[in-house]
Amino acid sequence: MAKRVFVGLTITLCLLLLIGGAVLAEKKPVSEMTIGCVINTLRHPYYVQIVEGYKQAAADLGVNIIIKDPDQDSTRQIDMIEELIYVHKVDALCVDPCVPGTLGAIIAEAAELGIPTVSGAGHNAGEVCFVGSDNYVGARLAGVYAGKWLQEHVVGRTPVIALLQSTRYPIPNLRMPGFQEGVREFVPDAIFVWRDTIANKLDAMEKMEDILAQYDRVDCTFGINDPTSLGALAACEAKFGATDMVACGFDCDPDGIATLKDDEHPAYMCDVAQYTYLITKCMLVQAIKTVWGEEVPLRIWAPCQLAERHNVDEVVGTAPVYKICELGE
């Protein structure tokens, strides 16, 4: 009887080893994978950094990528995704939607073919994972900075704060309530004046000029991204010299960094650094894990850090360590 049990256990163990070996054998090597990376537009400095991040992250991970730029055209974006699916036969997709809510059908089509989609910057229906900067918490850092400055420098009156949002981009727009919460921790009675923008510098200047037609001056500005923040600052500098005010940004893109360092723009005091290499690496890692059949989180919020004039180079050059964005984690 004992001999039979031993033989039975031996056979079972061999079967398990064979099955396990088969599973391991079917795990596609990263070097044999191709991931399609579809951005929004290279006209925006953030996506220039995103493309650089993809290239560096792909090289570090050893995965092949194909980058596509639809230049803010959602119809072209769908066509490019179709090309990646049927011509290039990619293993996975990493997609920043040009217009949120427009890619559900093509993402579902890819999923039926076993091609998962990881989203960035905006949600896609059918995504397996979304990766983005922790917009609310990052902007709150800037709001706390502004709130402390206002508490100290605006005395005897209620400060006026201009917020230039962009409701067309719901995920990045989480920055606005985050900033507002940070300010109210120190200046609970602040007056917030809102304008909706298309998130570029020229439109932000026009919207800020509209605010300054209502108010002679403002004490603080914050935009959804650096182009918007810098547009608001330019309008303030033209109208009242941007004296005795604090301006904050979000992105730490090259223009934002240059302005933060420039003594000619003393009102621009802080900018929130997000880490495009960290985001793109995290997206590629989740795509690879999904191809392997591993479970991945539905949402991943990459950390941000606050940069000021005295430490901007250090902050931008030192990305936080985030284990979930590593392939071995």
Q: Is the pLDDT of residue 1 over 60?
A: no
* pLDDT value, residue 26: 76
Q: Which of 10-24, 25-39, 62-76, 262-276 has the lowest average pLDDT?
A: 10-24
240 and 201, same structural domain? yes
127 and 218, same structural domain? no
Residues 175, 162: Cα–Cα separation, whole Å: 14
Domain finish residue from 230, 250, 273: 273
151 and 91, same structural domain? no
- Give residue 65's pLDDT band: very low, low, confident or very high (50, 70, 90): very high
Q: Which of 13-27, 104-118, 185-199, 266-280 has the lowest average pLDDT?
A: 13-27
Q: Which two tokens stand for residue 320?
A: 């936080």
Q: Is the pLDDT of residue 202 over 50?
A: yes
197 and 258, same structural domain? yes
Residues 304, 307: Cα–Cα separation, whole Å: 10
Other CB atoms within 10 A of residue 319 CB: 19
113 and 61, same structural domain? yes
Domain finish residue from 273, 290, 310: 273
Cα 160 to the center of its chain, rounded Å: 28
Mean pLDDT of 162-179: 95
Mean pLDDT of 134-152: 98
pTM across the whole model = 0.86
143 and 103, same structural domain? no
Q: What is the pLDDT of residues 75-110, one digit of tens each?
A: 999 999 999 999 999 999 999 999 888 999 999 999
Other CB atoms within 10 A of residue 178 CB: 23
Other CB atoms within 10 A of residue 260 CB: 22
Kindly provide the residue ranges of all beta strands, DSSP E only, lying in the chain, ordered along the sequence.
34-38, 64-68, 92-95, 117-120, 129-133, 160-165, 191-196, 220-223, 246-251, 268-273, 299-302, 305-308
147 and 121, same structural domain? no
- Give residue 321's pLDDT band: very low, low, confident or very high (50, 70, 90): confident
The range of the structural domain enclosing residue 69 comes to 31-134+276-325
Q: Is the pLDDT of residue 227 over 80?
A: yes
Q: Are 272 and 139 in contact (CB under 8 A)?
A: yes
Hey, is 257 helix, strand or coil? helix
Residue 219 maps to a domain: yes
Q: What is the largest CA-CA distance in the chain?
A: 96
Instruction: Specify the CATH number for the domain of residue 153.
Output: 3.40.50.2300
Percent of the chain with pLDDT over 90: 86
Domain finish residue from 255, 273, 291: 273
Residue 283 maps to a domain: yes
101 and 40, same structural domain? yes
Q: Is the pLDDT of residue 15 over 90?
A: no
Residue 21 maps to a domain: no
276 closest CA partner among 201, 225, 239: 225
What is the total count of domains within the chain? 2
* pLDDT value, residue 168: 87
267 and 202, same structural domain? yes
- Give residue 5's pLDDT band: very low, low, confident or very high (50, 70, 90): very low
* pLDDT value, residue 277: 95
